[in-house]
Amino acid sequence: MARRQDFTAEQQSVRVLKVGERVRHILSELLARQEVHDDVVSASNIAVTEVRMTPDLRNATAYVKPLLGTGEDDVVTALRQNTAFLQREVAKRLGLKFAPKLKFRKDESFAEADRIEALLRDPKVARDLTDEGE
C-alpha cells in the first residue's frame, strides 16, 4: 500500500505555487530558445506571465502574451497546436509523478489594468478620491 503524505493546506498551496512557477520558467525557456518548431511561435517573442496549477497538480493554465502585443490569437492557437510537444518537455524537466496537462490562454490582465487606470484618471473618480483624503 502506498504511503500517503498529509500536507497542511498552507503547505499544499505553497507547493502548488512553486510547481506553477517552475512550469512557467520551463515554458519561458523553451519559447526563448525557440525549441518549438512552429513559424508563428518562432517569429514571436512570447512572455509566459503566469501559470496556474490545479491543487492536484494535474492541470496547468499558462497565460501568454506576445511582447509586441499583436497576433495574440494566432500565438495562442499555435501554442495549442504544439501542446503535446510542450507537455513532453515540461514533463521531462519537471520530474513529477504526473505531467500536468497544459492549456494556453491569452493574458488579459494588462488590458484590465489599463481599464482600471483609465477609471482612476477619470475626473469624477479623482474628485471623490481627493475628498476622502482631506
Dump pLDDT digits (tens) for 19-67. 999 999 999 999 988 888 888 888 888 889 999 999 989 999 999 988 8
| CB count in 10 Å sphere of residue 129 | 10
Q: What is the pTM of this model?
A: 0.75
Which triple of cell numbers denotes residue 86? 510542450
Q: Does residue 50 contact residue 63 with C-beta atoms inside 8 Å?
A: yes
At position 63, the amino acid (one-letter code) is Y
Per-residue pLDDT at 110 exceeds 80: no
Per-residue pLDDT at 7 exceeds 70: no
Per-residue pLDDT at 108 exceeds 90: no
Q: What is the pLDDT of residues 72-84, one digit of tens each?
A: 888 899 999 999 9
Q: Which residue has the higher pLDDT, 57 or 107?
A: 57
Q: Does residue 41 contact residue 75 with C-beta atoms inside 8 Å?
A: yes
Mean pLDDT rounded to a whole number for the chain: 83
pLDDT of residue 8: 60
pLDDT of residue 10: 58
Q: Does residue 107 contact residue 65 with C-beta atoms inside 8 Å?
A: yes
Residues 35 and 3: their CA atoms lie apart, in Å, by 38
At position 120, the amino acid (one-letter code) is L
Q: What is the pLDDT of residues 112-122, one digit of tens each?
A: 777 878 877 87
Mean pLDDT computed over 78-104: 91
* Domains of the chain by start residue, with CATH: 9-107 (3.30.300.20)
Residues 98 and 53: their CA atoms lie apart, in Å, by 13
**What are the C-alpha distances in Å from 65 to residues 42, 51, 68, 83, 123?**
14, 12, 8, 16, 31
